[in-house]
Amino acid sequence: MRLHAIVEELSVARAAVEGGATVVQLRRKGASSDEVVEAGRGFGELEVTFVVNDDVEAALRLGADGVHLGRSDEGVERAVAAGLLLGTSAASVEEARAGEARGAAYVGAGPVWATPSKPDADPAIGLEGLAEICGAVSIPVVAIGGVDVLNAADCIRAGARSIATNRDPVYPTERGLRPGAGSIAAALEATTGVTPLSIGKPEPHLFESAAEAAGRQPADAIVIGDGIVTDLAGAKAIGARSILMLTGIAKQADVDAVPPDQRPDAVAANASELEAILEGFAG
């Protein structure tokens, strides 16, 4: 277990597995058990470990391999009795030890850094806190919270067995940076059939390098991202068109709040909307 991809949709899970993920965790915050079960259909066919977030009932109905429970979630005893792989959350050594004592097979430690996908998360524990947790338990530790392609290796060096991410469309593998863990890359591949060329963080010079490698001018590019002040600002800097994906990092209200000249050319809430926008650009 090295890459633990946290996803909301089957298409994203499939892309993550293709890219090298060994665990997929279905997380549908606020959804009922019935809704989680509906969203989870097909996950069991993936040849990786399948974990459901927060919901023991849904995990059992889906035939999942495991369930991840937060500190306030119920069902630990039921999960262990049913033979589910149990993961628990910890932001301290004491919480990690308590999870292990209750039968957890792994601990999700964090948030290591602040994470925009979970604004109500506990304060960040940093690499020092992660290392302390790793040294305090005998079960594997998964680093979670703000983990991306730039800092994943630091988590492993701190003692984590795996990293969990839903932030970046790329992550490091033995084959280099690969798409799969991010919903943007998965949506783009699902709608166009083209595997995105992912080269790193959204710096203008990286966009220019990608355009040069493709034999095109930077202004011919279409930049698809989920950050207004990162991805789309980089697009504006090179004169490229931009599409904002509403993955939870930015919301429509955030778009409305910025000056018109800083807004994306289009906004998509899902893969279908992205496909329609790309068709419109092509026409």
Note if 27 is an active site residue: yes
Beta strands in 188-270 (DSSP E): 222-225, 241-245, 266-268
Tokens describing residue 263: 């807004």
Closest of 147, 144, 148 to residue 133, by C-alpha: 144
pLDDT higher than 60, residue 228? yes
pLDDT higher than 90, residue 274? no
Task: Kindly give, in sequence order, each residue whose CB lies less than 8 Å from that of residue 202, ignoring residues fewer than 6 positions away.
Answer: 223, 225, 227, 230, 231, 233, 234, 235
State the pLDDT confidence band at 190, using cuts at 50, 70 and 90: low
- Helix %, strand %, coil % for the chain, to 5? 40, 20, 40
Note if 118 is an active site residue: yes
- Answer for the pair 111, 124: CB distance below 8 angstroms, yes or no: yes
Domains assigned to the chain:
3-181 (3.20.20.70), 201-282 (3.40.50.1000)
pLDDT higher than 80, residue 103? yes
Tokens describing residue 95: 């919480």
pLDDT higher than 90, residue 139? yes
State the pLDDT confidence band at 149, using cuts at 50, 70 and 90: low
Report which of residues 222 and 139 the model is more confident about.
139
Residue of 61, 118, 161, 201 marked catalytic: 118
Closest of 249, 251, 199 to residue 223, by C-alpha: 199
- Answer for the pair 186, 16: CB distance below 8 angstroms, yes or no: yes
How far, in Å, CA of 276 to CA of 164, rounded? Answer: 31
Q: What does R_g of the chain's alpha carbons equal in angstroms?
A: 19
Highest mean pLDDT among 203-207, 218-222, 244-248, 257-261: 257-261
Report which of residues 12 and 34 the model is more confident about.
34
Name the phi and psi angles at 245, rounded to 5.
Answer: -95, 130
Report which of residues 27 and 173 the model is more confident about.
27
Residue of 27, 28, 167, 263 marked catalytic: 27
Q: What is the rounded average pLDDT of the residues 63-76?
A: 92
pLDDT higher than 80, residue 271? no
Report pLDDT for 177: 42
- Answer for the pair 180, 15: CB distance below 8 angstroms, yes or no: yes
**pTM of the entire predicted model:** 0.60
Residue of 14, 28, 89, 167 marked catalytic: 89
pLDDT higher than 50, residue 226? yes
